Structure 1
Amino acid sequence: MVFFKFLKSRLSQFMTKTNRLVVLRHGESDFNIENKFCGWHDAPLSDFGVQEALTVAIPALEQSQLEFDVVYSSVLSRSRQTAELILSKLNCAYVPIKEDWRLCERHYGNLTGFNKRKIADRYGEAQVQAWRRGYDCVPPPIEESNRYYYTICSNPIFDEVPPGQFPLAESLHMCVDRVEPVWKEVKREVLQGSRVLMCVHGTVARALVQHIEGISNDDIEKVNIPNCVPRVYEFDLNTGGLIGSAINLGDQEYIRRKTAQVAAIGD
Structure 2
Amino acid sequence: MSDRILVLVRHGQSEWNLKNLFTGWRDPDLTEQGVAEAKRAGALLKAEGLKFDVAFTSLLSRAQRTLSLVLGEMGQESVETLASQALNERDYGDLSGLNKDDARAKWGEEQVHVWRRSYDIPPPGGESLRDTVARTLPYYNQEILPRVLRGQTTIVTAHGNSLRALIMVLEKLSPEGIMKREVLTGVPMVYRMRADSTVEDRRDLAV
Q: TM-score range by the shorter chain?
A: over 0.9
Cα deviation code 1:100-133 (max 9, x no counterpart): 0111001000001100122123333322222112
CA distance in 2, matches of 1:225, 1:21: 16
Aligned to 2:199: 242
Counterparts of 1:73-88 in structure 2 under 5 Å?
73-88=57-72
Partner residue of 1:256? none
Contact 1:231 1:248 in 2 (8 A): yes
Deviations 1:166-193 (A, max 9, x none): xxx1000000111011110211110001
Q: Secondary structure at the match of 2:200?
A: strand
Distance 1:96 1:125 in 2: 44
- Other-structure match for 1:61: 45
Query: Secondary structure in 2 aligned to 1:53?
Result: helix
Q: Say whether residues 1:233 and 2:191 are aligned partners.
A: yes
Identity among equivalent positions (%) equals 36
Is residue 203 of structure 1 aligned with residue 161 of structure 2? yes
| Partners of 1:74 and 1:102 within 8 A in 2 | yes
**129, 134, 139: which one aligns with 1:172:** 129
Corresponding residue for 1:118? Answer: 102
Q: Tell me whether 1:129 sits opposite 2:87 in the alignment.
A: no
8 Å contact kept, 2:115–2:128: yes
Partners of 1:242 and 1:53 lie apart in 2 by: 25
- 1:217 aligned partner: 175
Q: 2:17 aligned with 1:29, yes or no? A: no
Separation (CA, whole Å) in 2 of partners of 1:211 and 1:47: 32
Q: How far apart are the structure 2 equivalents of 1:52 and 1:17?
A: 27
Moved over 4 A (4+): none
* One of 56, 70, 74 as aligned partner of 1:72: 56
Gaps of 5+ in 2: none
CA–CA distance in 1 between the matches of 2:159 and 2:197?
25
Higher relative contact order structure (alpha carbons within 8 Å, sequence separation ≥ 6): 2
Q: Which amino acid aligns with 1:228?
A: G
Q: Does 1:38 align with 2:23?
A: yes
Give the superposed CA RMSD: 1.4
The 5 Å alignment of 1:81-160 reads 81-141=65-125
> How high is the TM-score relative to the length of structure 1?
0.74
Structure 1 CA distance for aligned equivalents of residues 2 and 49 of structure 2: 18
Equivalent residue pairs, number: 206
Work out the CA distance in 1 between the residues paired with 2:25 and 2:2.
39
Q: Larger radius of gyration, structure 1 or 2?
A: 1
* Higher mean C-alpha displacement, 189-198 vs 61-70: 61-70
Question: 1:18, 1:236 within 8 Å by CA — same for their partners in 2?
Answer: no
Structure 1 counterpart SS, 2:46:
helix
